[in-house]
Amino acid sequence: MKSPAETADEAVSAVTTLRRPTPTELLGETWHVVQDLPVFLTAPLYRRWHLRWGATAAEETAPLPGDALEPAAQYCSTRAITIAAQPRQVRPWLIQVGCLRAGFYGNDLLDNLASRTSAFLVAVTR
């Protein structure tokens, strides 16, 4: 019997095809990167805010799993969102996120090795 992760991987593989982008698609992705350059270049101005994006003061200071593994970490950030759903409803969507999977939903040229991000996710059930 396959694990839920293996089943999800197969579902994502069926949706995302790894093909090289056409020159037109590559030009479009390059243009998206150029458009994002001002945000990238001004990032140091809002870095402090970005490191704790969406997190409350309590979430920012709370101990999290893995903190003890690297107590003197040079890079620390806590980002948070609130999802009005049960973990069992969210997990199938989260496991499809990643490079050469459904994507990160950013710039395909940078985030997904120039592979197209899926236009939709497959609803994976356990």
Question: Look-up: residue for tokens 């592979």?
Answer: 115
Instruction: Give residues with Cβ within 8 angstroms of 115, minimum separation 6.
Output: 16, 18, 19, 21, 100, 103, 108
Q: What is the pTM of this model?
A: 0.42
Give per-residue pLDDT as tens, 20-33.
888 898 898 889 88
pLDDT of residue 85: 92
Has residue 80 got a pLDDT over 60?
yes
Give per-residue pLDDT as tens, 34-47.
988 998 899 889 88
Has residue 61 got a pLDDT over 60?
yes
